[in-house]
Homo-oligomer: A and B are copies of this chain.
Amino acid sequence: MLHILYIIAITAEAMTAALSAGRRDMDWVGVCIIAWVTALGGGTVRNILFNHYPMSWVEHPEYLLITAAAALLAAIIASIMTKLKKLFLYLDALGLVVFTIIGCQIAQQINLPASIVLLSGMITGCAGGVLRDVLCNDIPLLFHKEIYASASIVTGAVYLGIEYFGGSEGLAIITACVIGLTLRLLSIRYKWQMPKFVYHDEWH
């Protein structure tokens, strides 16, 4: 079940990443690489930090094929995607919570402490988007837009909390998904943001 959601999520992430690449006039190679980095980069960064090998896309090279195909499809049907904007925002939110839960599970498997399990979820959910923005030469959206990393942390905390108080894994996954998705979608709908820190003294 989580696996199916994961495939849907990486497909959707690859498609929206393709549009980011298109905004920078990239060619098809650039579109594929940005799609790979966005869809698979979060898990890859997590695995590097926690020394967890092999990478998912080495064991399942079909992930590379699926995401590349999705990205090129997105480049072809870009005008249709614009009309389906809302659907892709939902799918991106789904990706965030699914990646987060998978990241938490993997950190649990290698017996990391609870705070690092949460961090692993956040890295898995968010690092792909950060890498995409760095490669597109933007300041990562994550750092100044909406409730994104925070929704990831809440998702991970709900998941861990329910397991801690004896709930089954299934219950934990479903509840965390629902709460995380709701929080993320409400924050898009009502443009919730974290408080900002604006500091413009030239100090250096």
Number of interface residues of A (CB under 8 A): 64
**Identical chains in the assembly:** 3
Q: Which of A6-14, A19-27, A161-169, A171-179 contacts B (4 or more CB under 8 A)?
A: A19-27
Q: Check if A91 is an interface residue, CB within 8 A of chain B.
A: no
Q: Check if A190 is an interface residue, CB within 8 A of chain B.
A: no
Give chain B residues whose Cβ lies under 8 Å from the Cβ of A44.
49
Q: How far is the CA of A149 from the CA of B85 in the complex (A)?
A: 31
Determine if A143 and B30 form an interchain contact, defined as CB atoms under 8 angstroms apart.
yes
Give chain B residues whose Cβ lies under 8 Å from the Cβ of A116.
58, 61
Q: How far is the CA of A196 from the CA of B29 in the complex (A)?
A: 9
Determine if A199 and B22 form an interchain contact, defined as CB atoms under 8 angstroms apart.
yes
Q: How far is the CA of A199 from the CA of B148 in the complex (A)?
A: 25
Q: Which of B27, B130, B138, B196 contacts A196 (CB 8 A)?
A: B27
Determine if A198 and B149 form an interchain contact, defined as CB atoms under 8 angstroms apart.
no
Q: Which of B24, B54, B196 contacts A139 (CB 8 A)?
A: B24
Write out, one digit per residue, whether chain A residues 66-98 have a CB within 8 A of any chain B CB (1) or not (0). Answer: 000000000100100110010000000000000
